[in-house]
Structure 1
Amino acid sequence: MKFHSFSVAEAFTRLGSTQAGLPEEKAVALIESAGFNEITETEKEPAWKKLLGQFANLLILILIIASIISALMGDIIEAISIVVIVLLAGILGFIQEYQAQKAIESLKKMAAHKALVVRNGIEHLIEARLLVPGDVVVLKTGDTIPADARLIEAANLTLEEAALTGESQGVMKNAEMTFPENCSVGDRLNMVYAGTSISNGRGKALICATGSHTEFGKIADMLQKEPEKKTPLQQNLDALGSRIGVFALVIAVLMSAAGILKGYELVKMFIWGVALAVAVIPEALPAVVTISLALGVRRMVKRRALVRKLPAVETLGAVNIICSDKTGTLTEDQMTVRKLYIDGAIVSVTGAGYEPAGELKVNGEALDTGNAVFAQLVHIGSLCNDSHLVKKDKWLITGDPTEGALVVLAAKAGLNSDELRGRITRIAEDPFSSEKKRMTTYHSINNETFAYSKGAGEVMLGCSTQIMTAQGVIALTDETRMNLQQTIRQFAEDSLRVIGFAYKKIDSFLKAQPEEEMIFVGFVGMIDPPRPEVFAAIRRCENAGIRPVMITGDHKITAIAIAREIGILKDGAAYSGEEIESMSDDDLNRAVTSANVFARISPAHKYSIVEALMAQGNIVAMTGDGVNDAPTLKKANIGIAMGITGTDVSKEASDMILTDDNFASIVSAVEEGRTIFENIRKYLVYLLSGNMGTVLGIIIAMAAGLPLPLTAVQILFINFVMDGLVAIALGVEAPEPGIMDKKPRTVKEGILNTAALSEILLVGIWIGLLTMAVYAYALHTGAGDLKAGTLFFTALVFARLVNGFACRSLHQSLFLMHPFSNRALIASILITLIMVIGMINLPALQTIFGLTYLVNSDWLLVTIMPLTLLAFTEAVKWIKRKIAK
């Protein structure tokens, strides 16, 4: 039922209750039908089942089989390495699923534990889980609301609802009002909601929804129903694992069969075929992916982004839409005075946030801060004020943000508000209320009493009969009043919140009516300004082919103004939650295609918008800080929670947390995600082109009737070294220039695109031909099978090392890159060279690996031939760059 649309009397009637509350026996009976006031969880999957489920992955199963095969062949090191990789991948997946469950637990923790309920006309303190619809609860400052309820009494009752609605300002409640049925949650001023808290005042409320039927309960239900999503990388690797597994099996069977037909021993060819299959499978792929993601996480921490789920790092690289909240992410979340009006002049105010630095100018000239009218305005703004400006690591405001903006304005003019309050005594006050829309304080100055008042611009103008000017106080004429009203409207059209100031001298505080016939001084226009770095971040998004979308609980006019200022809204429509509510699915799909601003949005609207965007094939990142955002954070491809203002629920449901709540940090994280994906692609190009070259060289040898050039042990050594040291080193390559000047890859684009596949094919053929040329030359010049095999092995190792260096970039010339910027790669190449030289020159290792000594001319041959690969890869990159142009 839409209780916000019912009067108090009708709400009581609907729930069969009265001001005296429910009879105890009826409340107990209702628990049977309504259930306990608590969030219910779906049946949990046992932890052991979750852990085993991590290994139900084709690539993982192939790796397990490979480890068994390696162990049976006696290669215990290889087997252990694979097992460690498999366990690491499984444990990481298990941790991710476990974290999702914690989001539900965080919701439960936010629920109130006790409630003061009225039953049979008597107040009782009971467990909040025992509340039922129809109960009357007593509310006071500091309480957490125990269930959704219709207010029946409210005295200066203000609630913090940011966790539910995203509204950063406290919300003043009113029990007497009613609202339309389709009114958004944030605008239902006669309702209070479970999990929100009372910052001021007191009241009574009639419980109308409990447990899973509350707004919080609906969010929990959405969280539990939302399935875990697979990242684009996981989908790519699953498909790649399937193809490589089939390819490895086919190659192993065919090559083994060919060897048997050539007269090789059956057992020997079986072992060799299995070794070849193991060599083709990228055992190091999960390790490279994990290490690349983990190092990316470390780099992102320095950029103020904390990743909770490793695959999220890569998914960021595919993001083409970032849905962001406004307050605190795109803006400072610090109200700032931008303009003020005094004595017929509009004064511009520079600076942003709570930093007390900025200039006040009139028509480009500095304002004389000794101006009597301006001095009176900042005095009123400082004295009729309960906020304080404090300096810690940075400038902060304690108290209301709107009042804080006035304290900062005074500081920019050289006035210390705290010192002023210390000199001028406040003797009484009339606090702000939603009915009066103003606040008045009373001060004793030189044995005289003054009333200083501030409030909504129109309200302060309405209660004034005179106006202060540089020439003195004069009557407020109808013409002047009209001009002031027009200026106030202009401020409002610029999305500035207008606060007016007035004062009067009173003879007796007890007898006077001080909030009438006041002297109007002026007004200020303030706004929560955009973060300075957001402008550049939006431009980076445009260059990178990423569409930023603002989804906010704030009012539409404010959202549009900020969106236009920072560059999110240039053309296209902006929609409110009310408009979204009335749309069909088709209308919503059309709306999200072009609109970049959605204002006054409810949790359900956010979810629908993100769902519609994803249904169109977009990879969507979504920011959020409240409980209301949790289902959408989980639904989006990347859920990004706020580290400063975010609730525990939003953080647990997210993939990534911004430690500075800054939109620009998201864009930096996208760059990191793109880099990681590119590095994994480089590794695969390097690995598969090398594997292809190895297999091609062997195929040519067998087709030519030559002896097998490699032994099983040599194949496994190349596989272990190439897939290990060099490949992991490629995973830490730094971002390439221009990586944020490209459009995001599409969902359909695999990790091995056409360009990557062509490079694998061309480089693989070159490696196969050049190693075979070395092998054929050795046999032709009279070298025995052992020496020819040693030359083939060494040339193949060197060629793949050169290929590893060339794969630092799949586009850029190697000669334009700093040769030593990837020190991990240099180290891995040196270690590999030392190992190969030792294997060839140490008798014990010669026996194990089936190698022999090489003379100087042999070393020259196996060094020069692979260097031709460098020239070849440079030529391939040059052609790719020309085609791209």
Structure 2
Amino acid sequence: MTNKKMLLSRKKKVDKYWALSGETIINLYSTDATKGLTKEEAATRLMQYGSNSIATVKSGQPLLILLRQFTNPFILLLAIATIFSFFFKEWLDAFAILIVMILNIMIGFWMEYQAHRSMEALKKMSVVSVRVIRDGKMMEIKSELLVPGDLLFAESGDMVTADARIINFNQLQVDESTLSGESFPVDKHQHELPENTPLAERNNMLYKGTFVTKGNCLTVVVNTGMETELGKLAGIVQQAEQVATPLEKKVRYLSKKLIGITLGLIVIIFTGSIFYGTPITTVLKTAIALFVAAIPEGLPVVTTLVLSFGMLRMVKHNVIVKKLSAVETLGETEVICTDKTGTLTQNKIEVSLIQVENLSAHVMVNAAGTSMHWTENNSISGTTAYAHLCRISALCNTASYQPDGNKTHASGDPLEIALLKMIYASGIKPEDYQQQFIKTDEIPFSSETRIMATCHKSQDGDEFYYVAAKGAVEDILKHCTSVLDESGERHMDDEEREAWKGIATQHAQSGFRMLAFAYRETSKQEGSFLYNLTLAGIIGFTDPPRAGVMEAIKACKKAGIRVIMITGDHPETAKHIAVQLGIATPGEDVIIGSDMKPSDQLTVLDRKQWLKASVFARVSPEQKQHLVTVLQDAKKIVAMTGDGVNDAPALKKADIGIAMGLRGTQVAREAADMILKDDAFTAIVSAIRQGRIIFENIRKFVIFLLSGNLSELLVIAICALFNLPFQLFPLQILFINFMTDTMPALALGVSNSGDQIMQRKPYSPNTPIIDKKRWAAIFIYSFVITATTLGAVVTSHLMLHRNDEWNNLVYNNILFYTLIFSQLCQVLNMTFKREIAFHKTDVFRNKVVWYSITCCIIISLVAYWVSPVKSALGITVISWAEWGIISLYSILTAVIVRVLKKMRLTI
């Protein structure tokens, strides 16, 4: 029997993995306990079990998208117009409206389908990776490629992506709230449990969709994809309806408002027409024309497409936005709460200062970590304290660093990598320490204790245990009872402890990030070993600011956005960087985490101090959440950065949660609304700028669509009320809308606004797409287009046909083409700049706008020359003089509006 068949038969017999030992599970899945699966076997099992993903009903399936087009209220109105046309035996209009309705459905389908494809592309960019052991090597793979039998390694901050049986663990805690509803992390172990153990108590298992909050473990994957516990619940997830974003709701409200305006005009025209004695059939035909004219068919779909296009454009700025609603909120952001290390700084941390008892020296380690330059007191390198600093740095460390000529191989925390480089530069190999002292226990670093400690057993003949600890100076000193000097270890009293804190503070004021290093030698293994430590010394690290951060912070201030630095660093280090970058002033106070009370215990004075402060130091993740609460209580829209597993609550609490793509944990990335691929603060500012641009672009094309459609309504209404004989036909209105409602609107949606976009205060979340100012502008624009369009007809009559009878078809054609070209010229006015010169605006410089205008003009002229289209649209021969009048009044539309803008009579 082949391994594949054996595995299948065994799996059918066993599904209660928690009741089996780790060894049994390993044998059951034919997995090597140390080397894992081979790549070939993993590929075979992937074919057998399929991708490790949850099958969901996709809202982006083509058939569903197509069916959704028929629920669009504008399409329903067109359908009503088609039915009326058939009823009155207006066969040409009926079929034309039907064709245009189908074309709009197809265009809507295509645009929405493209938007969904864009969203799928974004999802692929934020795929979760996992670490597995295959062929005896630890490697990183996409979570979809996990198969039963894989040896899966998980540690604090990782998201669990398959169901797995724990076979080895270290201080492991897992957040299972997504599966069991339990709000507190669960302690895990590797021992067998009774077969009847309920899901919430299977503490030797990891389940897909949960998060590791503490420690690490090695597991065997037992179920993937739909076979996982989460997969079995997938049906519930699939039934959840997608909630419309606030912007989509605003667009829907706007659409309903427009339909209301149309119905109001129809009532007025209907009443007026009866007064004139117009036949009821003519009145109903006019009503059909009004319905057709009022419908901005592209409005909802263009909005979605512009949002998704904006999200893809943000990717170029190293920002992955996970939700459409986040794009809207970005433009409204008023406060950015940002971490320091790696976001404001380069995260290229280097050892720059070493302080032992009575001696300190500035040092410089070269980029390859092969040499170290001491600027003073190079005698430190020969002291016992420095030897202990190197040993502690090597042992209390989870990073890896290997110099290889001009190339280096490094992974892990940048600060720990810097320590390994220091050791290499001293002519010592960290692995020599690690082979001499085997780790027996570990206290992982946490944001609460700010200490990492390890216990090691010596492999020399004289057997003993060595405790190594590093962390924040004040926290390490709490566990120190002695200090190492030239003569050996001596007792440390409270006065000397305060003196060491003072030394650390003094160095921190110069911008160094300070860590203390301590040790203890003992003859026996102890369960609790973090006590009676001996201070070996302190090390200062430098991390230069990122390029462009200072300019980005200035841009934020101009845009009315406050930047608040939140860091776990020493207050003086934080203040030094904040002043250097322009976040804080030299006289500004720093709020320290130890002085921060929970948000519900703050006094009014406390809240005022928090709201004024720009720097928060020694802050815990929980305190981040309290700060967000205070800012939101003050009606601020808050963006919060985070990278750790404990940052997830603050990221969820913030209006925009921003996770780090390079150093962020999977938990943080899952909780966030957007991910910075390069961890840079400048990317946040670029994303906010893009968010503002998207909102302004949506405003532009909505104003353009509504002003164009309202001008059509006014032209039809005026012709009907004054019983003018050159009324537009429904088919002509459909053609006008087809020309102006899609391509120009899309082109406006991808405009790239100028610098002025970041020179205004953020809008309130309650700001409508069209406020009173913009409604006034829409009416002004539509009145100008209506006036110039009717003016073209009057001018033609007075200049060319004064002594002739009214040639209704010629006047109708002048009305038709002037309305098209006036709306196309009006595209160039869709900017919020007030310059009289067109070429200085962002819309004028948008190539896509020119492509769309040119394309629409060509299609309009082709309709004049192609006989079947010409006949259907009722187009007759137009003289060159009449074409000149059409062109003149179309251009005049844009000029008049531009003058009104310059005179500040409209926006």
Question: Is TM > 0.5 for Structure 1 vs Structure 2?
Answer: yes
Question: Once the 2 structures are TM-superposed, how far is the Cα of residue 776 of structure 1 from its aligned partner?
Answer: 1.6
Report the 3-state secondary structure (helix = DSSP H, G, I; strand = E; otherwise coil) of the residue aligned with 1:677: helix
Alignment of 1:655-804 (within 5 A): 655-780=673-798, 781=801, 782=804, 784-804=807-827
Q: Distance in 1 between matches of 2:325 and 2:787?
A: 38
Cα deviations by residue, 1:425-478 (Å, 9 ceiling, x for unpaired):
97457989779979899899xxxxxx999867787997566439xxxx999999
Q: 1:62 aligns with which of 73, 76, 81?
A: 73
Residues 716, 397 of structure 1: alpha-carbon distance in 2 compared, 3 angstrom cutoff: same
Alignment of 1:201-280 (within 5 A): 231-280=245-294
Other-structure match for 1:497 = 514
- Aligned residues with identical type, % of pairs: 28
Which amino acid is 1:526 matched to?
F
1:397, distance to aligned residue in structure 2 (A): 3.7
CA contact (8 A) 1:383 1:417 kept: no
Higher mean C-alpha displacement, 834-843 vs 752-761: 752-761
Deviation at 1:498, TM superposition (A): 3.2
Q: Indicate conservation of the 8 Å contact 1:700/1:772, yes or no.
A: no
Superposition TM-score, scaled by structure 2 size: 0.66
SS of corresponding position for 2:401 = strand
Rounded to whole Å, the distance in 2 between the matches of 1:671 and 1:482 is 47
Letter matched to residue 401 of structure 2: L
Matching of residue 827 in structure 1 with residue 851 in structure 2: yes
Aligned residues of 1:383 and 1:441 also touching (Cα < 8 A)? no
Q: State how 1:481-880 maps to structure 2 within 5 Å.
A: 486-491=502-507, 496-499=513-516, 523-526=538-541, 531-550=546-565, 563=578, 566-570=581-585, 571=588, 574=591, 576=593, 579-580=597-598, 583=601, 593-596=611-614, 609-625=627-643, 628-630=646-648, 633-648=651-666, 650-780=668-798, 781=801, 782=804, 784-812=807-835, 813-817=837-841, 821-880=845-904
The counterpart of 1:293, out of the listed 307, 326, 332, is 307
Counterparts in 2 of 1:600 and 1:873: CA distance versus 1, 3 Å? same
State how far apart, in whole Å, the 1-side matches of 2:182 and 2:498 are: 53
User: Structure 1 residues 580, 498: closer, same or farther in 2, change over 3 A?
Assistant: same
User: What is the CA-CA distance between 1:750 and the residue it aligns to?
Assistant: 2.2
CA displacement at 1:247 relative to structure 2: 0.6
Q: Which residue in the other structure is 1:310 paired with?
A: 324
Question: Is the 2:708–2:823 Cα contact (8 Å) retained in structure 1?
Answer: yes
Paired residue secondary structure (1:579) = coil
Separation in 2, partners of 1:857, 1:134: 81
Alignment of 1:80 onto 2:102: yes
CA distance in 2, matches of 1:132, 1:290: 37
Whole-angstrom CA distance in 2 between matches of 1:358 and 1:677: 52
Counterpart-to-counterpart distance in 2, 1:133 and 1:810 = 52
Matched to 2:561, the amino acid is I
1:140-179 mapped onto 2 (5 Å cutoff) = none
Cα displacement (A) at 1:340? 2.9
SS in 2 for 1:621: strand
Q: Distance in 1 between matches of 2:161 and 2:862?
A: 64
| In structure 2, distance between residues paired with 1:369 and 1:760 | 72
d(CA) in 1 for partners of 2:70, 2:363: 61
Out of 762-771 and 83-92, give the one that drifted further.
83-92
Instruction: Quote the offset at 1:839 in angstroms.
Output: 2.1
Higher mean C-alpha deviation, range 331-340 or range 597-606:
597-606
Q: Aligned-pair RMSD on alpha carbons?
A: 5.9
- Taking structure 1 as reference, are residues 378 and 530 closer, same or farther at Cα in structure 2, changes over 3 Å only? farther
Letter in 2 for 1:196: T
**Helix, strand or coil at the partner of 1:525:** strand
Task: Name the aligned partner's letter for residue 212 of structure 2.
Answer: G
Q: Could you tell me how far apart the structure 1 residues matched to 2:320 and 2:102 are? A: 32
Q: 1:399 to 1:463 in 2, by over 3 A?
A: farther
CA distance in 1, matches of 2:179, 2:756: 56
User: How big is each residue's C-alpha offset from its partner over 1:64-84, in whole Å with a ceiling of 9 and x where there is no partner?
Assistant: 422423543332333234445
Aligned-partner SS, 1:389: strand
In the superposition, relative to structure 1, how do residues 824 and 375 fare at CA in structure 2: closer, same or farther (>3 Å)?
farther
Corresponding residue SS for 2:560: coil
Moved more, 276-285 or 745-754: 745-754
The answer as to whether partners of 1:464 and 1:520 remain within 8 angstroms in 2 is yes
**TM-score by structure 1 length?**
0.67
CA contact (8 A) 1:111 1:195 kept: no
Question: Are residues 481 and 322 of structure 1, via their aligned partners in 2, closer, same or farther at CA, if it must alter by over 3 Å?
Answer: closer
Q: Relative to 1, partners in 2 of residues 1:623 and 1:261: Cα closer, same or farther, differing over 3 Å?
A: farther
Residue in 1 that maps onto 2:215: 198
CA drift of 1:579 comes to 0.6
Q: How many residues align?
A: 733
Residues 293 and 713, structure 2, Cα contact 8 Å, conserved in 1: no
1:619 offset after TM fit, Å? 2.8
For 2:23, the equivalent position in structure 1 comes to none
Return the alpha-carbon distance in structure 2 between the equivalents of residues 592 and 271 of structure 1: 65
> What is the Cα deviation at residue 876 of structure 1?
2.6
Cα deviation 1:645-686 (Å, max 9, x = unaligned): 445554444432222233321211111111111111111222
Give yes or no for contact 2:726–2:809 (8 Å, CA) kept in 1: no
CA shift in 2, pair 1:441/1:345, >3 Å:
farther
Alignment of structure 1 residues 439-478 onto 2, 5 Å: 466-467=485-486
Q: Which runs of 5+ in 2 are unaligned?
A: 1-55, 84-93, 129-143, 145-156, 169-177, 192-197, 204-208, 219-236, 444-450, 461-465, 524-532
SS of the equivalent of 2:284 reads helix
CA change 1:678–1:484 in 2 (3 A) is: closer
Q: Could you tell me how far 1:877 is from its partner in structure 2?
A: 2.9
Tell me, yes or no, if the aligned pair for 2:565 and 2:615 is still in contact at 8 Å: yes
Question: In structure 1, what is the Cα distance between the partners aligned to 2:622 and 2:184?
Answer: 26
1:268-325 Cα distance to aligned partner (Å, 9 max, x none):
4323322322322322112221221122122111111112223422331122123345
Q: Distance in 2 between matches of 1:134 and 1:236?
A: 39
Which amino acid in the other structure matches residue 711 of structure 2? G
Where structure 1 has 5 or more consecutive residues not aligned to the other structure, the ranges are 1-44, 118-127, 152-162, 165-193, 202-222, 361-365, 445-450, 509-517
Match of 2:226 in 1: none
Matches within 5 A, 1:352-371: 367-368=374-375, 371=378
Query: Quick one: structure 1 residues 249 and 323, their matched pair in 2 at CA, closer, same or farther if it must change by over 3 Å?
Result: farther
Structure 2 Cα separation of the partners of residues 130 and 695 of structure 1: 58
Match of 2:421 among 403, 408, 414: 408
Taking the aligned partners of 1:755 and 1:723, their CA distance within structure 2 comes to 22
Q: Give the aligned residue type for 1:576.
A: G
Q: Secondary structure at the match of 2:486?
A: strand
Deviation per CA, 1:359-379: give whole Å up to 9, x if none.
99xxxxx85589343476877
Q: Distance in 2 between matches of 1:136 and 1:311?
A: 33
